[in-house]
Amino acid sequence: MDVSDIIKKINPVYKEPIWEHSLVYDSSFEQLEPIYFWLLDFMSDLGFETEKIIDNFSASPGSGHFAELGTRATKMQEEGMKIMQTIGIMLKSLINLIYDMKEFEIRLKQYDLVKSKNPKDKESGILGLKQVWMDKVDMAQRGRGSINLMTQEIGFTTLRDAFMVAKSVDDIDRLDLNDRVKRVLKPRLAEFFEWKERSESELRKRFEIEKAWVKSQVAALKLYTRWAKPYLKAAEELMAKEKIREPALVKAFNTTLLELSLFGKSEIKIAKEVDAKNLPLAFRKLKLKRKYYACVFLDFRFRGIPTRTPQGHYAFGGRSDIVFKAFALNEDEIKVFEKEIEKQDFTDAFKLVEVMTEESLAEMLTDIEHFVGKEKSKEEKKDKKETGKKEEPEIGKIKRDSFEESVIRALTERTAADLCSKIYDTYKKAHGMASFEPQEWELAQKQKFYKPR
CA angle 365, 342, 230 (to 5 degrees): 70
**Helices 179-238 and 119-132, axial angle in degrees (round to 10):** 90
Cα gap 259→268, rounded to integer Å: 30
Of 447, 354, 302, 330, which is closest to residue 7 (Cα–Cα)?
330
Q: What is the pLDDT of residues 157-166, one digit of tens each?
A: 778 778 888 8
For strand 314-330 and strand 49-59, is the pairing parallel, antiparallel, or unpaired? unpaired
H helix or E strand, kind and range, residue 182: helix 179-238
Count how many Cα atoms sit within 13 Å of the Cα of residue 63 in the half-sphere of its side chain.
23
Cα gap 81→232, rounded to integer Å: 8
Please check whether residue 43 is in contact with residue 51, taking contact to mean a CB–CB distance below 8 angstroms.
Answer: no
Alpha helices, H only, 239-263: none
Mean pLDDT of 50-54: 86
Residues forming a β-bridge with 23: 322
CA angle 137, 138, 144 (to 5 degrees): 135
Sheet-wide strand order for 49-59: 19-31, 314-330, 292-308, 256-267, 49-59
Cα gap 302→314, rounded to integer Å: 14
Q: Which residues of 247-258 are buried (b: 16+ CB within 10 A; e: fewer)?
A: ebbeeeebbbbb
Instruction: Say if residue 284's pLDDT is above 60.
Output: yes
The CB density around residue 334, as the number of other CB atoms within 10 Å, is 20
What is the per-residue pLDDT for 41? 94
* Residues whose CB is less than 8 angstroms from the CB of residue 79 and which lie 6 or more positions away in sequence, other chains included: 231
* Residues whose CB is less than 8 angstroms from the CB of residue 169 and which lie 6 or more positions away in sequence, other chains included: 186, 189, 190, 193
Cα gap 265→273, rounded to integer Å: 17
Mean pLDDT of 142-151: 79
Instruction: Say if residue 202's pLDDT is above 50.
Output: yes
Instruction: Say if residue 235's pLDDT is above 70.
Output: no
Q: Which of 48-57, 186-195, 274-283, 435-444 has the lowest mean pLDDT?
A: 435-444
Q: Dihedral of CA 204/209/213/215: which sign?
A: positive
* Residues whose CB is less than 8 angstroms from the CB of residue 372 and which lie 6 or more positions away in sequence, other chains included: 211, 214, 215, 218
Q: Which of 39-43, 159-163, 249-253, 265-269 has the lowest mean pLDDT?
A: 249-253
Q: What is the pLDDT of residues 14-48, one digit of tens each?
A: 667 888 889 988 877 777 788 889 999 999 999 99
Instruction: Say if residue 226's pLDDT is above 90.
Output: no
